[in-house]
Amino acid sequence: MPSPRFPLRSARRADTPLRGDARPRLAHDVTFERAEDGRWITLLHGVPASRVSGDVVALLAAMDGETMLDDLRRRFAASEGLETFLRLVERFRASGLLDDAPRTPPGRVSFRPPFTVQLATMHAPVIFDRLTRFAAPTSSRDVVLPLAVLLGVGVLAAALQAEELWHVIVSPVPLGALVVVVVGLASLTLLHEGAHGMTLAYFGGRPRRAGFMLFYLAPAFFVDVTDGWRLRDRRQRVAVALAGPAVHAGVGATAVVTALAVAVPEVDRVLLLLAISCTAIVAVNLIPFVRFDGYLALMSALDEPNLRDRSIRDANHAMAWMLFGAPRDGRSLDRRWSVPFGLASVVTPIVLVLLAVTRIGDALAAGGPAGGVVVMAVEAAVVCVGAVLLVRGLRRILRAGVSRVRFWGVLAALVVSVAGAGSLVTVPVSAAFGFFPENGRVMLAQATAGSTAGMRPTIPREVPVVLTSNGILGNEYLGSGTASPRPLRPVTAPLESFVPVTASGASIPAVIVAEVVVTDASGDVDIGRAVVDLGTQTLWQALWAAGVEAPLSTLLSEK
């Protein structure tokens, strides 16, 4: 029987092994639709999920809750061994196709773990039907060729402006320019998602839902294009996935080319920042290990629905087998790289979230009470979601039939190992401050509401300090020296000392904490971000200091 292709969805009782005398029943909300190429499409709650063969449809339809699996095997796959056939049915069950695994279809409000909340309108089909009426008919070549030329010219323009681009990356952004770019990026996100929907509609599909979401802590729009599984040509499904990144790539190339022709510095900065932002968005979007457009394109090109979920399931089973002795199940994804891809799909979102949290913490490290509140709120949300996911994963392993003695023994060993490593491994520790000149001297300060009550000097005498720019995306080395504490004194400091934003004449209350003796400088040391070397601490001490003490100190100092 031909190997089916279908998505992986979690199912109740999925941890209970099937036997030959089991009598599965097809879920009531599973239907089938004949595709133009002769294959069939499985639908869950009316939502296209995968493309399968007619043999698979016949097998699933015969699962009536009364016929034993051994009888179904002899009827539909007599040449297959019972164990191979049971693994196949396990994949059906894990996909949500069998009776006790119904899935509520996404509605107006839905949550997708670990960090996605969607608010949707269900009128997307009508909206895109109207939009496509105004789109002039065109061929794929008429779109791809001009875009390729534009991207090539954009790369050349970027090379010619490499120095200007670097300056934008490592410099604070004028408030007005930042507002323009943020509004522009928000509009582009809408166009990005609209391009997915328009491309799907152009090929004959119907976008189901559209709306606003929080995606890995970032606000964004979205369009549900699962109807793309109705498209017979996988190249069309790849085009639907890449239509969004093509919008950002085209706008980024246009911006950098325009900046080359414009001689107004303020406009150049906005255009280059827009080009950099678009490039970063495209690069992140093409990561195949997260549910970004690159993953959707890869999944469509391979014709492997729910590629990521299925590979994660294989990786989870492999790890559960190696660590806890769980039963070895057949792979959900028949690819050699299934387990490594699944592990990468687990690790990559964690890395992205940690990078985002770290960048937020760095940008707001010297930002006073307001910055401390934001950092603590983001950290609390990430820790809570991570704890819930970890507990759920451990519960799934425990329900998989592993030895409870081995489970708790291995878990205890892992906890002890992690705790021990965190207590023994040392890491460098630093603190971030803003710096600015005062009477020919370079002063370090911390943003505050102006009061020094409750504050204590945190800088030892003559500790190394590195002075950098306070850039929106990076920092440039400006100089180095030694810092020594000074009596705490309230002052009014430039805004760009604490946040990577400039505004004419803008300043905020701060407290001077130290003075820097500059021993090396690459140029003028004016205003920016200072990183003070505080020696080393154990990993746990460093995490606690950076994640809890630093943001809390700005709040407690106001009491």
Rounded Cα distance between 180 and 198, Å, is: 26
For residue 72, give the CATH number of its domain: 3.90.930
The residues facing 531 across adjacent strands are: 432, 466
Q: Indicate whether 118 and 100 sit together in one domain.
A: no
Q: Is residue 267 part of a domain?
A: yes
Count other C-beta atoms under 10 Å from residue 121's C-beta: 12
Domain membership flag for residue 202:
yes
* 297 shares its domain with 316: no
Structural domain includes residue 554: no
Q: 262, 283, 302: which is the final residue of a domain?
A: 302
Mean pLDDT in residue range 493-499: 88
- Beta strand ranges found along 308-411 (DSSP E): none
Q: What is the pLDDT at residue 534?
A: 85
Rounded-to-integer distance, Cα 369 and Cα 267, Å = 33
CB-based contact 454:154 (threshold 8 Å): no
- Please give the average per-residue pLDDT across 412-426, as a whole number: 91
Cα separation, 321 vs 274, in Å, equals: 48
191 and 214 in a single domain? The answer is yes
Of 37, 72, 104, which closes a domain? Answer: 104
Give the DSSP H or E segment for 488.
strand 477-494
- DSSP string spanning 5-17? -------TTTTSP
Rg of the chain, C-alpha, whole Å: 28
How high is the pLDDT of residue 559?
46
Are residues 87 and 115 both part of a single domain? no
Rounded average pLDDT over 124-147: 72
Q: Which domain holds residue 122?
A: 109-302
558 in a structural domain = no
Instruction: Calculate mean pLDDT across residues 101-119.
Output: 62
Task: Give the pairing type, strands 109-112 and 116-121.
Answer: antiparallel
pLDDT band of residue 541 (cuts 50, 70, 90) is confident
- Give 512's contacts (C-beta < 8 A, 6+ positions apart): 438, 443, 444, 445, 486, 488, 489, 491
Tokens of 36: 């133009």
Q: Are residues 417 and 382 in the same domain?
A: yes
Q: What is the mean pLDDT of the chain?
A: 81
Q: How many CA atoms lie within 13 A of 347 on its CB side?
A: 7
Helix, strand and coil content of the chain, in percent to the nearest 5, comes to 50, 20, 30
Whether residue 557 has pLDDT greater than 80 = no
323 and 278 belong to one structural domain: no
Single out the residue of 299, 202, 189 nearest to residue 244, CA to CA.
189
274 and 158 in one domain? yes
Where residue 435 falls among pLDDT bands split at 50, 70, 90?
very high
Indicate whether 552 belongs to any domain.
no
Domain boundary among 261, 285, 302: 302
Across the range 74-81, mean pLDDT stands at 82
User: Which CATH number fits the domain that encloses residue 512?
Assistant: 2.40.30
pLDDT in tens, 333-342: 888 899 999 9
Model pLDDT, residue 526: 85
| DSSP designation for 264 | -
Q: How many structural domains does the chain have?
A: 4
Q: What is the mean pLDDT of residues 24-50?
A: 75
Question: Does a cis peptide bond (omega within 30 degrees of 0) precede residue 327?
Answer: no
Higher-pLDDT residue of 500 and 98 is 500
Identify the weakest region by mean pLDDT among 153-157, 411-415, 449-453.
Answer: 449-453
Nearest to 509 by CA among 424, 454, 458, 449: 449
Helix (H, G, I), strand (E, B) or coil at 237: helix
Which residues lie across from 118 on neighbouring strands? 110, 213
Residue 278 and residue 154 in one domain: yes
H helix or E strand, kind and range, residue 215: strand 210-215
The predicted-structure confidence for 188-201, as pLDDT tens digits, reads as follows: 988 998 898 888 88
Q: In this structure, is residue 508 part of a structural domain?
A: yes
Residues 76 and 20 in one domain: yes
Report the SS3 class of residue 4: coil
Cα 541 to Cα 334: distance, rounded to the nearest angstrom:
44
Q: 20-34, 186-200, 246-260: which has the highest mean pLDDT?
A: 246-260
Residues 471 and 510 in one domain: yes
What is the Cα–Cα distance from 519 to 533, expressed in whole angstroms? 15
- 220 plus 201 within the same structural domain: yes
pTM as predicted: 0.72
CB 476 within 8 A of CB 469: yes
For the beta sheet containing 109-112, the strands, ordered from the edge strand earlier in sequence to the opposite edge, are 109-112, 116-121, 210-215, 218-223
Domain annotation covers residue 30 = yes
The pLDDT > 70 percentage for the chain reads: 81
Residues 114 and 237 in one domain: yes
Q: How far apart are CA 350 and CA 383, in angstroms?
A: 11
